[in-house]
């Protein structure tokens, strides 16, 4: 009886042990996907360093490339670099604070295999010490991540971005997008914006702002839309009606300042203390603020002009010309006869001539007669091509929905 019982129980126990073994094996096994991920080669600077070691450093003040490389390679190699690779990268141009990387073999001598110097956030130069010396330049992969932001104006566009912890470069981008349609010196408290844009990422680190893809700026109850759209591989901005945001003239010749004096026929001169016409607009801004050309044109004057101090005059066409006074200096290459493009820096805010403080005296002439720059109308550039309207309208509908969802 006893043996009969054992014969019945033993197979059951044996089966349970097998099942238990299966259960234990299953619950303690490594996820196959994790195994695959861990076995993938590591890559930096487009180099496979799976079997190599990498150490990062930063160029110190007054440090040169020879000093950095001295513990890594022979003096003959350093001399070869300085003599033969200048056309690829001039080693005298390394800058304090820039990052570099030393990649070495996992041997007893930790033999240096590569040295990489980061010229900019994106560009780098590779010194390959394997076999014979090889030097070349390359670029990091820049990832674009879709972001959105919104804010309300309390004092200025700049402050709205600061108050909301937003990238100031995004504010500069917005001012460029709307440069032809919105006067940001005239924004009011309560105006607001929503924007969808690209954030640029390198090595998981944000490095800047890419294109603004869509935005809505609400000023005095009016909606100003901007949509980025490419035609013939060229991207520019259009409103919701497919009209170009670009105009013949910019709204203002400089960024983020305030209007200290407007167009008038009777203003008390701050220096002469007499009333006389002021046929221009004064923009108060810090000394050195870049001043840009309002539109394409030819420089007629770039010289000292009495009370205007350092002065530039540009003829844009047979009808319009613009003047820029009290400059602290001229941009490189600006002289009479020079042709400039809209948005080119032509000079810098100063206080030359009859002036009590740094500002730009900006003037517009129509058929040689002064007109109020703040009331000047400017015709738009070409709209979206009719062949592309269907695609553009679909884009607008999609982006409108996204803008409505931005909080």
Q: Are 347 and 291 in contact (CB under 8 A)?
A: yes
Residue 135 shares a structural domain with residue 148: no
* One domain, residues 48 and 121: yes
Least confident of 34-43, 142-151, 246-255, 258-267: 34-43
pLDDT per position as a tens digit, 309-364: 999 999 988 778 999 999 999 999 999 999 999 999 999 999 999 888 899 999 99
Please indicate, yes or no, whether residues 320 and 352 belong to a single structural domain of this protein. Answer: yes
Evaluate whether residue 24 is within a structural domain: no
Question: Based on the domain organization, do 263 and 371 belong to the same domain?
Answer: yes
Residue 89 falls inside a structural domain: yes
State the DSSP string of 129-177: -SSS-EEEEEEPPPEEEEEEEEEE-SS-HHHHHHHTT--HHHHHHHHHH
- Quote the pLDDT of residue 266: 58
For 170-222, what is each residue's pLDDT tens digit? Answer: 988 888 888 878 877 778 889 999 999 999 998 888 888 999 999 999 988 89
- Structural domain including 363 reads 258-375
Same domain flag for 190 and 278: no
Q: 191 and 300, same structural domain?
A: no
What is the CATH number for 199? 3.10.450.350
Comparing C-alpha atoms, which of 100, 99, 101, 81 is closest to residue 91? 81
Number of separate domains in the chain: 3
**Contact, 288 vs 324, CB < 8 A?**
no
Burial group, residue 236, by CB count within 10 angstroms (0-12, 13-18, 19+): middle
Query: Which one of 117, 139, 161 terminates a domain?
Result: 139
Distance CA 227, CA 399 (A): 8
Predicted confidence (pLDDT) at residue 133 exceeds the cutoff of 80? yes
Per residue in 310-324, pLDDT tens? 999 999 887 789 999
Residue 145 to residue 45: CA distance in whole angstroms? 21
Of 104, 139, 174, the last residue of a domain is 139
Which has the higher per-residue pLDDT, 13 or 406?
A: 406
What digits encode the pLDDT tens for the residues 64-106? 999 999 999 999 999 999 889 999 999 989 999 999 999 999 9
**Ordered alpha helix ranges (H), 178-211:** none
Indicate which CATH number applies to the domain containing 279.
Answer: 2.70.70.10
Q: Same domain, yes or no, for 103 and 154?
A: no
pLDDT score of 2: 45
What does pTM read for this prediction? 0.62
């Amino acid at each position: 009886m006893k043996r009969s019982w054992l014969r019945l129980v033993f197979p059951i126990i044996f089966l349970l042990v097998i099942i238990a073994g299966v259960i234990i094996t299953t619950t303690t096994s490594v996820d196959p996907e994790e195994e695959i991920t861990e076995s993938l080669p590591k890559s930096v600077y487009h180099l496979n360093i799976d079997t190599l070691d990498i150490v990062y450093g930063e160029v110190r003040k007054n440090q040169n490339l020879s000093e950095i490389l001295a513990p890594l390679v022979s003096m003959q190699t350093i001399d070869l670099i300085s003599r033969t690779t200048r056309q690829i990268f001039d080693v005298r141009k390394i800058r304090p604070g820039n990052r570099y990387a030393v990649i070495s073999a996992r041997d007893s001598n930790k033999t240096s295999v590569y040295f990489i110097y980061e010229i900019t956030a994106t560009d780098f130069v590779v010194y390959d010490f394997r076999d014979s010396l090889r030097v070349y330049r390359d670029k990091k992969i820049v990832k674009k991540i879709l972001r959105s932001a919104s804010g309300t104006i309390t004092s200025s566009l700049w402050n709205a971005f600061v108050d909301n912890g937003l990238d100031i470069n995004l504010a500069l981008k917005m001012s460029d997008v709307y440069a032809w349609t919105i006067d940001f010196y005239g924004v009011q408290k309560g105006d607001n914006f929503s924007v969808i844009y690209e954030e640029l990422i390198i090595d998981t680190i944000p490095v800047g702002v890419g294109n603004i893809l869509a935005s809505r700026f609400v000023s005095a109850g009016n909606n100003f839309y901007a949509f980025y759209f490419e035609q013939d591989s060229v991207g520019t901005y259009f409103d919701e009606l497919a009209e170009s945001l670009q105009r013949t003239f910019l709204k203002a010749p400089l960024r983020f300042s305030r209007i200290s004096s407007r167009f008038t026929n009777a203003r008390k001169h701050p220096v002469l203390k007499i009333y006389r016409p002021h046929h221009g607009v004064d923009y108060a801004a810090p000394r050195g603020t870049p001043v840009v050309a309002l539109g394409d044109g030819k420089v007629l004057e770039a010289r000292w002009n009495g009370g205007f101090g350092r002065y530039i005059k540009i003829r844009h066409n047979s009808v319009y010309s613009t003047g820029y006074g009290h400059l602290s200096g001229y941009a490189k290459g600006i002289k009479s006869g020079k042709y400039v493009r809209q948005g080119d820096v032509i000079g810098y805010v100063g206080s030359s001539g009859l002036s009590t403080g740094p500002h730009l005296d900006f003037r517009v002439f129509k058929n040689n007669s002064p007109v109020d720059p703040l009331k000047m109308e400017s015709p738009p550039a070409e709209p979206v091509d009719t062949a592309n309207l269907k695609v553009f309208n679909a884009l607008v509908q999609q982006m409108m929905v996204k803008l409505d969802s931005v909080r």
